[in-house]
Chain A
Amino acid sequence: MQTTLPVLLTFIMGMFMIIMFFMPQLGTAESLATRWTTIIWGFAMALGIDSLLLNHFRKIRKGGTQAIHSMALIVAFFVTLIWGLYAWWRYGNPFDAQSSFLWMFRYVYLPLDATMFALLAFFIASAAYRAFRARSMESTLLLIAATIVMMGRVPLGGVIFVAFFIAFMLIVGVYFLYESTKYIGTDRWIRLIVGLFFLSTIVPLFVPSFAKAFANFIPGLADWIMQVPNIAGQRGIGLGLILGSIAFSLRVLFGIERGYLR
């Protein structure tokens, strides 16, 4: 009974939603479900707050170095609650322009929120550094694609890319020429030709019109990467997602999958 009833309820509600989707003349199931969820969520929120406060009171009782964090949370919670209720009583709306609660929201909460968001920039840099290290074929491709997209999406990116390309080809070309001095016979000639090939790719870039065309090519290439291979990959994942979500829903609706139940 502990699993049969929830499975039966899930099946009935699921079928109800499916029928309403295909027969919209019967009404909008979505708004009904949203209303019900809001009501349940309201009650669940009280349990959430109960969990939060109990947890931190417990930590304060236990003591230790971490208790100070819990004290800060409890104080912040009640200060915000009382302040908000007072502003509600005083102005009819805690977010009234005259309300000091609004001041607190604007100058304490929002900067803290924005600070957390801003940290993302540093996290992106450190994660990108790890992801872009050319340790395998895949990460090398990622590095090349990301470099082109970055160069193509920033102002003067094309110009920077020309300089970047010249420096890269110069280093690789000189490296192969240097390596050729260590070998003899065919090995030497191969390295010499490869080195000269890399160096020769730089030469046309000293012709201003060609360099300009090359610089303009990069933003177009960046757009192509974003709009063709990137979208193709996303659509592939999206296709799998849709099939996965339908199969998952069918498993849940028909009680085949009960992992989320007791």
Chain B
Amino acid sequence: MNLFLIAQVFIIPVNQPSVQLEDGRVIIHWSKVDTSVTKYEVYRKAEGSEDVVKIGETTDTILIDTTLKPGMAYLYMVRSFGPDDSTFVDSNWSQPVALKQEKQGEEREYVLGIIAKERFPVLIFLLFFGFLFFYYYNQARMGKEIFIRRLAGLDAIDEAVGRSTEMGKPVVFVHGLTSLDDPNTISAVAILKYIAKKVAMYEIDLIVPNYDPLVLLASKEAVKEGMLEAGRPDVYKEENIMFLTTQQFGYAAGVNGILVREKPGATFFMGYFYAESLVMAETAYTVGSISIAGTTAITQLPFFIAACDYTLIGEEMYAASAYLSRNPVEIGTIKSEDVAKILIIAAIIIGSILATLAQFGIAEDLFNLYKTLWTVTGG
């Protein structure tokens, strides 16, 4: 059987499937590129072998293979079928994926008999960071003043809302594309609550389009609560917090429509964004709105930095809620991040120096010891 045969025409093959090894099984995932496909069959072959085995069929774009032998490397291929079962087309073979001996069920190695060995360094790092976190938390609770640097993007929120008030224009808050299980979104909801409080004080409209229905519900509660805290629950307008769509570019079109029609004085983009980020941020710029963005999506950060007035970069987004609360205890915990970062940077510099010296045959043993320590502590 020739698996690369493209029978007849008209079906677009899926791209190379992506494979991910997780807990002794392989998750094979691919994108739907042709909507006329009625089913997919997934095939597997061992690396270096031509024996192809069908491992299952599905109408979905994901399949999990649980029948791997440890120590073998496998490749996967997806066959897409057209309306009649004789029409099909094959994808390219995936990257090889190998199941190591120790990751298989009972063969897995444990530390202290219960903790998975390969995750032990993560635990060590978590304990180390947890110690720092609670140390600074206690310091702050005992009243010690803790300094953290100013975050221009968050300080500008008041200025942006004030500008909107002066212009008599509404404020628009745009969520990212992730749901409430993402810390980005939880942080964004907390920022929204703060903005709602400010907006209520100045009695202007706050428009919140939503991509995810769960986030919609959280947004409604956050805005209601923020306005209540400001003592102005009457400013809350249910119709201003609306659901748009769960389609990426449909959402971008909806947000752009709102921006163009309402011409807000300030626009906030908070959450995890994808390719739609610049489409929306640039539209906000063209309507003359001051824009403040915050995201942890590294690929979208350059777009926001180019198009927005202020951008919360990465961790600043997570720190936003604590920073805005002005609560010294919450702010104290942010200090632990900075201290951990300094320690990690120091460890990287020491490691770089030792690695360089080891290249010249100096202090090789010390470098090897350092490497072992680095690995064990989650580096």
Contacts and interface: CB of A to CB of B under 8 A. Distances in A.
**Co-assembled chains A and B:** yes
A120 B253 CA distance: 12
B314 A244 contact: yes
Contacts of A262: 221, 225
Given A21-B119, A102-B35, A123-B282, A247 B239 contact: no
B186 A113 contact: no
Contacts of B181: 33, 37
Interface residues of B, number: 88
Contact of B213 (A23, A45, A58, A239): A45
Interface string B218-231: 10011001000000
A21 B333 CA distance: 24
At the interface, is chain B mostly helix, strand, loop or mixed? Answer: helix
Contacts of A160: none
Interface stretch (A161-169, A207-215, A251-259): A251-259
A87 to B, nearest CB: 12
A173 to B, nearest CB: 32
Nearest to B103: A24
A204 interface: no
A124 B321 CA distance: 31
B149 to A, nearest CB: 12
Which 4 A-B pairs have CB atoms at the shortest separation, nearest pair first? Answer: A244-B315, A48-B213, A259-B190, A97-B83
Interface of B: 23, 35-36, 38, 82-83, 108, 110, 114-116, 119, 122-123, 126, 129-130, 133, 137, 179, 181, 183, 186-187, 189-190, 193-194, 210, 212-214, 216-218, 221-222, 225, 239, 241-250, 252-253, 257, 261, 275-276, 278-279, 281-283, 285, 296, 298, 301, 303, 305-307, 313-319, 321-322, 324-325, 329-330, 333-334, 336-337, 340-341, 344
29 contacts: A22-B116, A24-B119, A41-B179, A44-B214, A44-B216, A45-B213, A48-B210, A49-B243, A55-B242, A93-B38, A96-B83, A97-B83, A102-B35, A116-B279, A123-B279, A123-B307, A126-B282, A127-B281, A240-B314, A243-B340, A245-B183, A247-B318, A247-B337, A248-B183, A248-B186, A248-B318, A252-B183, A252-B186, A259-B324
